[in-house]
Amino acid sequence: MPDSLARNAIFYSDFVKVDMRVGEIIECRDFAEARKPAYQLKIDFGQEIGLKDSSAQITVRYKKEELIGRKIIGVVNFPPKKIANFTSEVLVLGVEDKEGAIILLEPENLEDAGLGSRVY
């Protein structure tokens, strides 16, 4: 294992503390007050978790209208974070493309991934 990975190693018991769930974006608005271009999202995580708000810097690859109904993966147990005049309750997960734009992480089989399903 490279030294950089060894220094950042965590135990499985740490990993399982991160509560990642499947959610569905039900609202998307421009977030004009954000320092970097972003959207304000309302995400449905099912009956157990409910509706949560998130800010996401995903404006390069995604238009607002194509985000509605999209299932995503989000971390639901971080403390809320104040961003400008908005409170983000969820961290929406993604990876950077070659230019640094975010590509959302999405469940592969959308029909089988129920809202609120936990990622293991």
Evaluate if residue 67 carries a pLDDT over 70: yes
CB atoms within 10 A of CB 94: 19
pLDDT at 29 (0 to 100): 98
pLDDT at 1 (0 to 100): 56
- Residue 66 CA, distance from chain mean position: 16
pLDDT at 102 (0 to 100): 97
List residues bridging with 81 in a β-sheet: 88
For residue 5, what pLDDT band results from cuts at 50, 70 and 90? low
Domain positions in the chain are 19-104
pLDDT at 55 (0 to 100): 98
Do 115 and 72 meet the contact criterion of CB atoms below 8 Å apart?
Answer: no
Residues in the chain: 120
Handedness of CA 56, 59, 64, 70 (dihedral sign): negative
Give mean pLDDT, residues 51-77. Answer: 97
Tell me the per-residue pLDDT of 22-63, one tens digit each, with 9 for 90 and over: 999 999 999 999 999 999 999 999 999 999 999 999 999 999
Q: Which stretch of DSSP H or E encloses residue 46?
A: helix 46-49
Which of the four CATH numbers 2.60.40.10, 2.40.50.140, 1.10.260.40, 3.30.420.10 does domain 19-104 have?
A: 2.40.50.140
Do 74 and 92 meet the contact criterion of CB atoms below 8 Å apart?
Answer: yes
Phi and psi, residue 82, nearest 5°: -80, 125
